[in-house]
A and B are shown apart, each in its own frame.
Chain A
């Protein structure tokens, strides 16, 4: 068993090594694929070093008839180098789910580890992280839309430049590696100046346009990290939309691993 684990981790590090080699030498990648990958790696690189962050989020769900429903959520995140980030999501509204909290250890390739705390029963439940494509809290955001961006999660293709919001944007097509993704591809617009995402088009499993996410009101934190105060997801197929508003962004607050375990999940507020 032990030798098996060692062998497996050896094999994994070899494959990781070969991936780096491939991406560096652009061996087997076309010029467009290489440029798409490079842009995404640069975008990730420019945001590295935020260490940890906290923020409040309000979700406004709208259906076709214009009826609205609100979700109030607090997020705590911890940057993990050489792996996916850790996050703690705490629900405040709707009132019936107040105190419910969600702990996630994301991994670029392996399955994420996720736990849900149900305050009425005081129960911590390990949940399956397979559900990437399902709606988050009945919104138009899928779980995978809210998870941290890791370069390894997609393969890429550069499509060219396009003007958007008065800025020149790279247009990059991303193909999810995970077979459980609800998308065949995403088209992402990033400005050439700061590598901020301005728009994403999502194509469903049948490759037809499903949703468009637009980012606005970007603010820069610690003279480095750009975050959009507003995100709006419009579902073209069912006419529903979800608006996401971020407030109280804070970075390097001193969160550590000990703020992301079962105990902190249970007492999260």
Chain B
């Protein structure tokens, strides 16, 4: 009884919220159009176009585990222009960054997104940002634990650093005691996954059509976030509370499809508290990120912490060498494959970064990750260099290995690959 009562109540309150949100958005856009018209006389609108076109070639060293998957070679082309208008001396601006990728093999990887389409108004001690945007939080390098606003564009790359644009109204207020950001996030984005033909996926394909939500509002749930960030001397601190749809789906094998089992996504509601700290002490950067996540299915803690140490001008040259080490911990511990848990429950990462500081901005990065609970490792090399004025060439090699059948890396162990990309910037 109480349950059936609760549902319509929730729904009406979310309807109310959506209503007031639309009102806010409308008044914001009215304000925007007013500003545009007012500014036409006052100051000129400045326009800038830039962006990049990238060709990427992947080569997988071994045959795929699943015959449906592409065998060795995957080619793709991506375009990401950025259009930017500003007026009132930069106090008002609009940015539009569409993105599109065409992939030769994986139909799921042929996809587009609006990375940004936002209006920003800046005043002396506050900023209002309305539209589709990207917002990054965090300090560590090998895992971005506290970064929660944007959904991962998982089909883009293996490292999870590519994000989908998120609809938001964000008010940012600068105080003597730190910057406070309030986020209203209407509209949830579902994570993207490699398709049937794609590599770098588990044995089951994630079903992108039949998605379940805990909230009756589904994708329309209004998420909220409140963040404080401040720098005190050598310390940069951040803390936040997020309430809304979990960006990580619970994946479970579905029996609906008779021919081929798939993984079904279930997005729960979550409350998450997060902190991030960096101490910048001479040549040492000490980094820590921690979260506590509470969903209807589980409560857990997770941390990522470590350091980066820089040697300036090694071998009597201009080359800088940075050494990195980070540890990941998750209170859920080791879990069976398919169960919800973390890949990084007790993992150690070490890395070395060489910056050549030459005219071509040559860089070389090497990373090694190891699961301390069982025999699994990942190894990556990234190298990039500028050719001419506008072309960046990057080479990436990723090797993944695991002896434990419960490990996601085990299912990816045939997916060792090298990637060459050519990006033209304009």
Chain A residues close to B by CB (< 8 Å): 61, 63, 67, 69-70, 93-99, 111, 113, 121-131, 133-135, 137-138, 180, 182, 256, 258, 261-264, 267, 269
Contacts and interface: CB of A to CB of B under 8 A. Distances in A.
B359 A61 contact: yes
B179 A261 contact: yes
B285 interface: yes
Contacts of B134: 122
Given A94-B390, A134-B318, A261-B174, A128 B179 contact: no
Given A126-B231, A128-B283, A269-B84, A135 B90 contact: no
B358 interface: yes
Interface in B158-175: 161, 172, 174
A261 B282 CA distance: 21
Contact of A94 (B86, B280, B310, B389): B389
Interface stretch (B4-12, B117-125, B346-354): B117-125
Contact of B310 (A128, A264, A269): A128
Interface string B356-385: 011111000000000000000000000000
Interface residues of B, number: 48
Contacts of A182: 313
Nearest to A95: B425
Contacts of A256: 124
Contact of A126 (B278, B310, B312): B278
7 contacts: A61-B359, A94-B386, A96-B386, A125-B139, A129-B280, A130-B283, A263-B179
Contacts of B360: 138
B167 to A, nearest CB: 16
B190 interface: no
Given A261-B174, A267-B93, A70 B389 contact: yes
Contact of B125 (A61, A258, A262): A258
Contact of A267 (B48, B127, B313): B127
A132 to B, nearest CB: 8
Contacts, number: 105
Interface of B: 48, 50, 52, 84, 86, 90, 93, 120, 122, 124-125, 127, 134-136, 138-139, 161, 172, 174, 179, 229, 231, 234, 236, 278, 280, 282-285, 310, 312-313, 318, 320, 357-361, 386, 389-390, 392, 423, 425-426
Contacts of A261: 174, 179
A169 B115 CA distance: 56
Contacts of A63: 359
A133 B313 contact: yes
Contact of A122 (B136, B174, B318): B136
Contacts of A134: 312-313, 318, 320, 357
A121 B285 CA distance: 20
B390 A133 contact: no
Contacts of B310: 128, 130-131
A182 B139 CA distance: 29
Given A122-B136, A128-B283, A138 B392 contact: no
Nearest to A135: B357
B359 A130 contact: no
B312 A133 contact: yes
A127 B124 contact: no
Contact of B50 (A95, A125, A264): A95
A51 B339 CA distance: 60
A28 B360 CA distance: 48
Contact of A128 (B120, B139, B282, B425): B282
Given A61-B359, A94-B425, A98-B50, A69 B312 contact: no
Contacts of A269: 48, 84, 86, 90, 93
B318 A262 contact: no
B179 A138 contact: no
A131 B174 CA distance: 29
Nearest to B425: A95
Nearest to A262: B179
Contact of B359 (A138, A258, A262): A138
Contacts of B161: 121
Contacts of A113: 231
A99 B84 CA distance: 11
Contacts of A69: 359, 389
A267 B318 contact: no
Contacts of A127: 280, 285
Contacts of B358: 138
A146 to B, nearest CB: 14
Contacts of B390: 94-96
A179 to B, nearest CB: 11
Given A93-B389, A126-B231, A262-B179, 5 more contacts: A61-B359, A94-B390, A95-B50, A124-B136, A263-B174
B135 A95 contact: no
B425 A111 contact: no
Nearest to A138: B359
Nearest to B135: A122
Contacts of B135: 122
Given A130-B282, A131-B312, A258 B124 contact: yes
A127 to B, nearest CB: 7
A142 B76 CA distance: 39
A133 B313 CA distance: 8
A174 to B, nearest CB: 21
Contacts of B359: 61, 63, 67, 69, 138
A261 B134 CA distance: 19
Nearest to A254: B89
Most buried by B among A126, A130, A269: A126
A267 B88 CA distance: 14
Contacts of A98: 50, 425
Nearest to A142: B318
Contacts of A93: 389
Contacts of A131: 310, 312, 320
B426 A95 contact: yes
